[in-house]
Structure 1
Amino acid sequence: MTAVGFCGRWFLFSCDTKLVAVHTGQSRESFVFDCSSAEKKPKAPQADSSSDGGPSEEAGSDRVLAFAVSSSGKLVALTDDTKRLVLFQCEPVWRCISVRWVVRRCTSLVFSQAEDELLVADKSGDVYSFSVGEPQREGQLKIGHLSMLLAVTMSPDDKYIITADRDEKVRVSRHRYPYSIQSFCLGHQQFVSALQIPSGHPHWLLSGSGDGTVKLWEYESGRRLQSWDLAQLEETMCSQTVKEKQNPTVCRVSSSPDGRHVAVLCERVSAVQFFLLDEVDEKKLVPHSRLSLPHCALDISFDLEGRLWVLMDSSDAPLQINTLRGNSWQLDSEDPDLSRVTEALRPHWKTLHAARTDSRFEHLHKESYDNVTSYLQKKQQRLEEQQLKRAKTPKKKGSKRLKETSAAGAQP
């Protein structure tokens, strides 16, 4: 997974097996964590091996799958394809707190607001809870689902756990009693791939999906407030998306620190769609503008100052910083932070180039088949063939003679 984010003033960048942190405000040494050289999981005893003598679990590739940042910006966690769960402290200095192991490969992580718990959602549909205060403690099963989970988040008051799955559902569960479901947010036609509770709007939830829509919810009641089809707002898409004739898949929904602006990114699209959030206006989620990019974007993230950082699929200029000036988002190519971070990422450009824009969600799209229309067409064709056959078949003479004999015998 190639992704960007912010931990306070630290710019975070994950690509292949590495997590790189670069300070944007000071000339501090960058932090690099390579999962390929991290602690290995102890080998399971022979009794745990499969019956055919092979290993009980598939070996991983050490590729980073997801990372999360705590609300204070002091903690970071990542998980990789080898099923590691690594916890870091980034202030006052970077250090690895613990390396634990998850049961199955994970798709999303989130810290509680109190920063005492780390929730991990995996591909089998389970959510595990890991203690932050006891960094060596194993995870405990929190919630189970019947479908693959793609995103997890928590309400700002830590009251609800919100999960999104492959079966088009957003589920709101009580944190203290996770078996008690508060609500469902239903309406997407494909898997739900992104969740975001915008800053300053603790009762609202933004969701993005493989159906190419962004929806705004009042998640405690499950009430949908607004929905936008991004396909109607898009002007240019990458050639591969057009070739597949699919709706653009939302891969990231990010909100600015003041909660007024929302940026939406779709896979294989060289543009970012901006929205405005307004609690007063009847149309609470309103399209604002569209930012065209020179290359397909890999990920986006707002920093503490409200600037939007865009990571692109380009070895020459992988980063952009965009600032809101007046009523439009404009490229800020002279920003000193941009040159500092770009230079720090230069040694990792080769890894970035290898990651490219491979789709993370392509295999999740559900195909629909119209069997009824095909059945009706074949049925109509059979009826027409039968009628034509009957019209060409001559009547038998024996039947005509039998009718004439019957008629003669009936006369007095």
Structure 2
Amino acid sequence: MEDNHMEENEQKLEKEVAPALIAVHPNQLSVTVSIGSDLRVFNLHDGSGAKLLDENGGHKDSIRAIRYSKSGRFFVSAGDDKLVKFWDTNSWHCFCSVVSEKRVTSLAISNDEMFVCFADKFGMVYVVDIRDYNYENQGSVNKKAVPILSHYCSIITRLEFSPDGKYIVTADRDFKIRVTVFPKEPVNGAHEIQSFCLGHTEFVSCIAFVSSQDCAQGLLVSGSGDSTVRLWDYASDTLLDTCDVGAKAGLLNSNQGQEEMVPAVTDLCAASDGSLVAVAIQSLPGIMLLSCNLSARTLSIAKVVAVKGETFIPTSIGASFSIPLLWMVMGASSLHNTDSTLLARVRVISGFGSNQSEPVSHETSVLEDTEIPGGEPLLQELQGKLSIGEEAFSTAAEAVKTAMRNLLIKKNYSAERREVRKKGRNDKKNQSPA
């Protein structure tokens, strides 16, 4: 009885809180925020919220991954309800739903928009072939996903396609980054491993590519629970540079002999010109900007852009390809209004990714709410409420931090506890007796 109770508590901790996420259309035609099972879209072209059309009623549990395709013609969302949904961004009609065997943790869309890959909590990566489907059609279709690769029983935290489309990169909670050759026919499996980028000492929470016209293949940056951001030549598994962002931000705390609390990097976003990398860090009320020199293959701290006047610790960040704005959101699936509306907070930083002819410190600033594209209507649509209490967001920040560590930091179990957990696994319970 006690073991069952412990198991229930562990599962509750992992599922309890999901961070708010943000994604920006490549040409900044729309901005999407997900919080809990809510998917909120604001159309900047006509200045209004988009109405999502889904015959199956949308997501039923927390959304864990959202992504626009490279052209912005379609959008994909996935999460704890084991559903991967495809949306046409002209009509915001859900034209395809794919069922995953396990909860989805991350997704990526190939640069040619022919394939969508997603990862589940058990470390499997699947591919959906959408070459033969006209996603502007108002009908809907159910497609099947095909497994193509796996990390051995390790939660995959992030998927990304390389800028040239040759590789798919997967990061996991066991400190690994795997670079796999993405084949012409991935439905037959992706079996050729190019490299492993090894060096982090805690879970890898996020990855992103930095590239420019002079460096089309680009380099890889990764963030981790070890409070570092690392720069890689991913094709040759070479570690080029390391930034200890937690120490530089002054966030490392020592509790009188107790274990040092290291703030995790929660998200990364690279500017379209490859000059800057924005870093979201637990406990940092704002964003750290790293300057990336692709020629010298170095990372350096450019500045910390602080959000003043409120506790704003981003849970997700994003940017478009064409406009030098960094969009940030803070929120958690546990943060409710009195009418049960899920609450989020959106902020924007200007000067992200413009040609850096002047020092970065003179070009970046946090926009006031009245200066944000879309203004008050956008905030009303994406946040759920314009005025949100300070205490609520402080609570949300701690809840997200706890949930992330419970999910991604590996737990040490005795042999007896491992056997109990095996017996309680859902896939074992659902098996019919032989």
Q: One fold, TM greater than 0.5?
A: yes
Tell me how far apart the structure 1 counterparts of residues 149 and 388 of structure 2 sit (CA, whole Å).
36
Aligned twin of 1:340: 377
Q: Is residue 250–residue 265 contact of structure 1 (8 Å, CA) maintained in 2? A: yes
Q: Is residue 35–residue 80 contact of structure 1 (8 Å, CA) maintained in 2? A: no
Matched, 1:188 2:200: yes
Q: Is residue 49–residue 378 contact of structure 2 (8 Å, CA) maintained in 1? A: no
Q: Equivalent residue of 1:361, what SS?
A: helix
Give the counterpart of 1:110 among 108, 111, 114. 108
> What does the per-residue CA deviation read over 1:187-220, in whole Å, with 9 as the maximum and x for residues that have no partner?
0001111010124243310101111100010100
State the TM-score, normalizing by the size of structure 1. Answer: 0.75
Q: Is residue 212–residue 248 contact of structure 1 (8 Å, CA) maintained in 2? A: yes
Tell me how far apart the structure 1 counterparts of residues 324 and 221 of structure 2 sit (CA, whole Å).
18
Matched, 1:290 2:334: no
- Larger-gyration structure (1/2): 1
In the alignment, structure 1 segments of 5+ residues that lack a partner are 40-60, 369-412
Tell me how far apart the structure 1 counterparts of residues 350 and 282 of structure 2 sit (CA, whole Å).
22
Give the counterpart of 2:294 among 279, 291, 300. 279
State the TM-score, normalizing by the size of structure 2. Answer: 0.72
Aligned twin of 1:10: 30
Tell me how far apart the structure 2 counterparts of residues 213 and 239 of structure 1 sit (CA, whole Å).
18
Tell me how far apart the structure 2 counterparts of residues 112 and 99 of structure 1 sit (CA, whole Å).
18
1:145, CA displacement in angstroms?
A: 1.6
Q: Equivalent residue of 1:342, what SS?
A: helix
Output aligned runs, 1:57-72, within 5 Å.
62-72=61-71
Number of equivalenced pairs: 343
Deviates more, 1:118-127 or 1:25-34: 25-34
1:36, CA displacement in angstroms?
A: 9.0
Give the counterpart of 1:198 among 210, 216, 219. 210
1:351, CA displacement in angstroms?
A: 11
Q: Alpha carbon RMSD of aligned pairs, Å? A: 3.1
Matched, 1:356 2:400: no
Letter of the 1:103 counterpart: E
> What does the per-residue CA deviation read over 1:82-115, in whole Å, with 9 as the maximum and x for residues that have no partner?
1111101103x32111122011111100000110
Tell me: higher relative CO, structure 1 or 2? Use CA pairs within 8 A at least 6 residues apart: 2
Tell me how far apart the structure 2 counterparts of residues 29 and 251 of structure 1 sit (CA, whole Å).
28
Output aligned runs, 1:51-130, within 5 Å.
62-91=61-90, 93-130=91-128
Aligned twin of 1:257: 272
1:344, CA displacement in angstroms?
A: 2.1
Give the counterpart of 2:324 among 287, 306, 322. 306
Q: Is residue 107–residue 123 contact of structure 1 (8 Å, CA) maintained in 2? A: yes
Matched, 1:167 2:174: yes
Aligned twin of 1:246: 261
> What does the per-residue CA deviation read over 1:245-272, in whole Å, with 9 as the maximum and x for residues that have no partner?
3211111010112221110001343131
Letter of the 1:361 counterpart: M
Tell me how far apart the structure 1 counterparts of residues 119 and 387 of structure 2 sit (CA, whole Å).
30
1:283, CA displacement in angstroms?
A: 5.6
Q: Is residue 4–residue 14 contact of structure 1 (8 Å, CA) maintained in 2? A: yes
Aligned twin of 1:158: 165
In the alignment, structure 2 segments of 5+ residues that lack a partner are 1-18, 134-140, 184-188, 338-342, 352-357, 413-434
Aligned twin of 2:281: 266
Q: Equivalent residue of 2:323, what SS?
A: coil
Letter of the 2:148 counterpart: K
> What does the per-residue CA deviation read over 1:107-156, in whole Å, with 9 as the maximum and x for residues that have no partner?
10000011010001111111000122345330101002212211111112
Tell me how far apart the structure 1 counterparts of residues 194 and 205 of structure 2 sit (CA, whole Å).
21
Aligned twin of 2:42: 22
Tell me how far apart the structure 1 counterparts of residues 410 and 386 of structure 2 sit (CA, whole Å).
34
Q: Equivalent residue of 1:356, what SS?
A: helix
Tell me how far apart the structure 2 counterparts of residues 13 and 62 of structure 1 sit (CA, whole Å).
15
Q: Equivalent residue of 1:14, what SS?
A: strand
Tell me how far apart the structure 1 counterparts of residues 265 and 72 of structure 2 sit (CA, whole Å).
26
Tell me how far apart the structure 2 counterparts of residues 97 and 238 of structure 1 sit (CA, whole Å).
48
